[in-house]
Amino acid sequence: MKRLIFAANWKMHLGPEAARGYMETFLARVPLLDDREAWFFPAAVALHAVAEAARGRGDLAVGAQNVHWEEKGAFTGEVSAPMILDAGATAALVGHSERRHVFGETDAETGRKVRSLLAHGLTPVLCVGEKLEQREAGVTLSVVGRHLGVLEDLDARALAKVVIAYEPVWAIGTGKTATPADAVEVHAFIRDFMGREGADPGQTRILYGGSVKPDNIADLVGESEIDGVLVGGASLDPVTWGTMVQTPLD
């Protein structure tokens, strides 16, 4: 059975000391999870601190927010897959909308990152999603399909290791949230794409991200097409996040 993923993207918040305090509070409130996992994506400087705090808990995982596709070299400010692995990461976000739209990262670069992570035994969490004007123009599935295209030449074994996060850009940090029906439509499209590429669509884990909060998380994870959530701002408080991670399921 697939376990739900509750993923926290801290973005550029919480350094090592703050991260240790956060994890102490979180762990005191959240006992071992049975049917779900809590994943943390801290800033690179806090990766090791969070990984150390999560050590021994098989229901917890730690990942990086970004990664470079080369193993080493003259790439000032970047971190590589071997580096984040050494720091305790087991996954990394790739293609996040902020990387695409703020830093100008391309699908080609995202694809190279996916392959680097897979080559080092790490889980890529591929973020896909449309802007507001694209949704209003009715091209949501076309945009998502283009983002998914970076996976097209991977074999079934590699595809099985990829997690997809659907994050409508217009819903990130805006307070607007796609309705469960909106999310389900896109998740079903993603699942169909993965099946056509050779993955087991029923085993592909697809998360929803975009203004997920305590008051809407139950409706989202209650949908069978939604295998978890990728949460930004609401995950920055360990008490709130601990409550969200333990959301009861019907």
Tens digits of residue pLDDT in 201-240:
999 999 999 889 999 999 999 999 999 999 999 999 999 9
Catalytic choice (98, 105, 130, 167): 167
Measuring CA to CA, which residue among 42, 202, 66 is closest to residue 125? 66
Is residue 169 in some structural domain? yes
Is residue 47 in some structural domain? yes
Residue 164, phi then psi, degrees to nearest 5? -110, 140
- Residue 242 predicted with pLDDT over 70: yes
Is 17 one of the catalytic residues? no
| Chain segment 20-56, per-residue pLDDT in tens | 999 999 999 999 999 999 999 999 999 999 999 999 9
Is residue 102 in some structural domain? yes
* Confidence band for 175, pLDDT divided at 50, 70 and 90: confident
* Confidence band for 248, pLDDT divided at 50, 70 and 90: very high
Is residue 250 in some structural domain? no
| Chain segment 178-203, per-residue pLDDT in tens | 888 999 999 999 999 999 999 999 99
* Confidence band for 1, pLDDT divided at 50, 70 and 90: low
Number of domains into which the chain is organized:
1
- Residue 172 predicted with pLDDT over 90: no
pLDDT score at 2: 84
Domain residues for the domain of 217 are 4-245
Is residue 206 in some structural domain? yes
pTM, entire model? 0.96
Distance CA(109)–CA(35), nearest Å, equals 34
Is residue 28 in some structural domain? yes
Distance CA(203)–CA(58), nearest Å, equals 19
| Chain segment 9-23, per-residue pLDDT in tens | 999 999 999 999 999
5-9, 112-116, 182-186 — which is least confidently predicted? 182-186
| Chain segment 60-112, per-residue pLDDT in tens | 999 999 999 999 999 999 999 999 999 999 999 999 999 999 999 999 999 99
Is 71 one of the catalytic residues? no
Catalytic choice (37, 48, 68, 96): 96
Instruction: Write the secondary structure of 101-143 as one string of H (helix), E (strand) and C (coil).
Output: HCCCCCHHHHHHHHHHHHHCCCEEEEEECCCHHHHHCCCHHHH
pLDDT score at 178: 81
Is residue 45 in some structural domain? yes
* Confidence band for 126, pLDDT divided at 50, 70 and 90: very high
CA geometry: angle at 28 spanning 250 and 13, to 5°? 90
Is residue 106 in some structural domain? yes
For residue 147, what is the domain's CATH number? 3.20.20.70
